[in-house]
Amino acid sequence: MRASGRVDRRGLLKITGGSVAALGLTAAGCGTGGGSADGTVTIRYAWWGADDRAKRINKSIELFEKKHPKIKVKTDFQDYVAFWEKFQTQAAGGNPPDVFQCAIAFLRKYDKRGVLLDLKQQVDAGNLKMTGFRSGLEKVGEVDGKLLGVPVGSNTMSLVIDEKVFEKAGVTPKQGWTWDQYFAALKKIRDTQHRAGDSGYFGVMYLYDLYLRQQGKAFFTEKGLGFDEADLREWWADGYAAVRSGLVADPKKVVQIAPKSAVSDGMAASEFTWDNFSVRYDSEGDSTYGLAPVPTTDGEKTGQYLSSLMLSASARTKYPQQVAQFIDFMVHDPEVGKIMGYDRGILATEAQYKAFRPSDPVNKAIAAYEEKTAAAGVFGPVTPHPAGADTVEAAFLRIGTDLGVGKTKTADAVRQFFSEAKSALAG
């Protein structure tokens, strides 16, 4: 059975984890999926994404079922918000999908509740290979000695720029440029091109994480937050000052044009986002857009790491071997790589990465950006997020937006964030 659904990107950015925070259960030995008299088993696979992703995944599953005729895959997908709402209901009822799309923000949360299968036993049994991954990605799904997720793609934070505006302003971003140089560039763009230089960097949690990592800190530690109120007060105060000076676009106007980007709208000349999200700008705008390096504190460290969508498995599945074989096929098979392309980020394994070589300029640029960033030696390990991280991320975006549009003051926003974060991380 093939389900259908549509992605809500605005919801994806704003609701990370909202409704799943209350989930609490302990996994038992009962399972999902189903079997038949001839030994054929059916496993359930669920994910979030748009219709195009569903078409690609369904085509990949057809290949898998030809190679494994005794394993059938029943699929289900929705947009991001609906996916997690449904997952909460299924998991609470003891009937989660056998295998499902996941991300680092959810690993500790659902492991704590006994939802996730430790896949290390399947690696040891030879049903799942954790070799041949790019840039250390095989470690991304490891939490507290367990293998809770297997990467299917990678992405990293980047600075998307309107190349025509930067060129007219005489600004050329280079690897290792500093935050001082970045803000000088925004000022030059404002003064010569009469538009904001940035769309609103201070509300991007993952950018703030990089900034903290450049200073030897991090947004999250394994148990909580890796920064204090003084750190955030400085970040948000500087960001709000940049809005008042015109270096950053007016958040009220940015909200009004959403979900369209302020960069593709022509309101701002740059925007921090994940590199694989850059495909949106060509379709939304009428300029030319490129990927520039993340600014640094010391001219060297960007704080970057490779993040990833993953495939995780249910601790309740009756068919751990078949689930592991399915995951292995989806992340290693070269034909799957050709079918999926960069839909979920740059392909995670070398076999799939080599099998798919993009022909369009945008995806070529994304691949080139990750290759150049890797060659610069700036990638570091990502800290596994603590349980409740998804709710904290949503709070950071919401409160940062309220600050930007003038609904709250910096000191109040900081106090509110830490109060909500403390509650979320204590659950």
C-beta atoms surrounding 358 within 10 Å: 15
Query: Is residue 392 a part of any domain in this protein?
Result: yes
Give the predicted TM-score (pTM) of the model.
0.83
Query: Is residue 257 a part of any domain in this protein?
Result: yes
Query: Is residue 56 a part of any domain in this protein?
Result: yes
Mean pLDDT for the stretch of residues 398-423: 95
Do residue 287 and residue 250 come from a single domain?
A: yes
**Residue 121: pLDDT band by 50, 70, 90 thresholds?**
very high
DSSP 222-269: SSSBSS-HHHHHHHHHHHHHHHHTTSB--HHHHHHHTTS-TTTTTSBS
Do residue 283 and residue 411 come from a single domain?
A: yes
Give the domain extent around 28: 9-155+308-356
Do residue 91 and residue 141 come from a single domain?
A: yes
Vertex 344: Cα angle to 56 and 314 (nearest 5) = 85
Instruction: Check pLDDT > 80 for residue 8.
Output: no
124: left (phi over 0), alpha (psi -120 to 50) or beta: alpha
Half-sphere exposure of residue 17: CA atoms within 13 angstroms, side-chain side: 28
**Weakest-pLDDT range from 206-215, 380-389, 412-421:** 380-389
CATH of the domain at 139: 3.40.190.10
> H-helix or E-strand containing 25?
none
Query: Is residue 43 a part of any domain in this protein?
Result: yes
Query: Is residue 63 a part of any domain in this protein?
Result: yes
Please choose, from the candidates 392, 416, 389, 419, the residue with its C-alpha nearest in 3D space to the C-alpha of residue 402: 416
72, 65 contact by CB (below 8 A):
yes
**Residue 420: pLDDT band by 50, 70, 90 thresholds?**
very high
Mean pLDDT for the stretch of residues 219-234: 95
Average pLDDT, the chain: 90
Do residue 343 and residue 295 come from a single domain?
A: no
Do residue 405 and residue 349 come from a single domain?
A: no
Do residue 173 and residue 264 come from a single domain?
A: yes
Do residue 91 and residue 165 come from a single domain?
A: no
User: pLDDT digit string (tens) for 162-172?
Assistant: 999 999 999 99
Half-sphere exposure of residue 255: CA atoms within 13 angstroms, side-chain side: 14
How many structural domains compose the chain? 2
Query: Is residue 377 a part of any domain in this protein?
Result: no
Do residue 163 and residue 281 come from a single domain?
A: yes
> What percentage of residues in the chain have a pLDDT greater than 90?
76
User: pLDDT digit string (tens) for 53-67?
Assistant: 999 999 999 999 999
CA distances from 254 to 118, 248, 419 (A): 42, 10, 27
296: which strand partners? 178
User: pLDDT digit string (tens) for 130-173?
Assistant: 999 998 899 999 998 999 999 999 999 999 999 999 999 999 99
Do residue 91 and residue 210 come from a single domain?
A: no
User: pLDDT digit string (tens) for 9-32?
Assistant: 333 333 333 333 333 333 333 445
- The pLDDT of residue 2 is 37
Do residue 107 and residue 148 come from a single domain?
A: yes
**CA-based torsion, 358, 359, 363, 368: positive or negative:** positive
CA–CA gap between residue 147 and residue 107 (Å, rounded): 10
**Residue 35: pLDDT band by 50, 70, 90 thresholds?**
low
User: pLDDT digit string (tens) for 374-391?
Assistant: 999 999 988 879 999 989
User: pLDDT digit string (tens) for 178-190?
Assistant: 999 999 999 999 9
CA–CA gap between residue 48 and residue 100 (Å, rounded): 9
User: pLDDT digit string (tens) for 301-321?
Assistant: 999 999 889 999 999 999 999
Instruction: Check pLDDT > 60 for residue 242.
Output: yes
- The pLDDT of residue 128 is 98
Query: Is residue 71 a part of any domain in this protein?
Result: yes
Instruction: Check pLDDT > 70 for residue 213.
Output: yes
Instruction: Check pLDDT > 50 for residue 403.
Output: yes
- The pLDDT of residue 32 is 59
Query: Is residue 367 a part of any domain in this protein?
Result: no
Do residue 163 and residue 194 come from a single domain?
A: yes
- The pLDDT of residue 81 is 83
Instruction: Check pLDDT > 90 for residue 283.
Output: no
Mean pLDDT for the stretch of residues 252-270: 94
Instruction: Check pLDDT > 50 for residue 1.
Output: no
151, 307 contact by CB (below 8 A):
no
223, 386 contact by CB (below 8 A):
yes
Do residue 131 and residue 249 come from a single domain?
A: no
In 19-86, the DSSP E strands lie at: 34-35, 41-48, 71-78
Phi, psi at 142, each rounded to 5°? -90, 130
**Residue 73: pLDDT band by 50, 70, 90 thresholds?**
very high
**Weakest-pLDDT range from 160-164, 247-251, 275-279, 308-312:** 275-279
Mean pLDDT for the stretch of residues 358-386: 90
β 41-48/99-103 pair status? parallel
Instruction: Kindly report whether the peptide bond that precedes residue 259 is cis, defined as omega within 30 degrees of 0.
Output: yes
303: left (phi over 0), alpha (psi -120 to 50) or beta: left
